Amino acid sequence: MASLLAYPWAFIQRQLRSIPVPTTSYVGRTVIVTGANGGLGLEAARHFARLGAARLILACRSTERGEAAKADIEQSVTTSTAVEVWPLDLCSFESVQAFCRRANAELDRLDVLLANAAILTLNCRMAEGYEMQVTTNVISNFLMVLMLLPLMKKTAARWNVEGAVTVVASEAHMFTSFVEQDEPNIFESFRPGGAMHDRYGTTKLIDILVVQELAARLDAASAGASPIVVNSANPGLCKSDLFRDLFSIGQWFLNLSVLLLGRTSEQGSRTLTEAIAGGRESHGKYVDGGKVDYPSRFVVSEKGKMVQKKLWDELMEILERIEPGITANVNQVPS
- As annotated, the active-site residues are 200, 204
- Give phi and psi for 58, each to the nearest 5: -90, 105
First to last CA, the chain: 43
Specify whether the CB–CB gap between 91 and 132 falls below 8 A: yes
Nearest residue to 218 via CA among 110, 299, 139, 142: 142
Q: Which amino acid is at 173?
A: H
Specify whether the CB–CB gap between 172 and 284 falls below 8 A: no
CA dihedral over 232, 235, 237, 243, signed as positive or negative: negative
> What gap in Å lies between CA 82 and CA 228, rounded to an integer?
24
Question: 91 burial class (0-12, 13-18, 19+ CB within 10 angstroms)?
Answer: middle
Question: 193 burial class (0-12, 13-18, 19+ CB within 10 angstroms)?
Answer: exposed
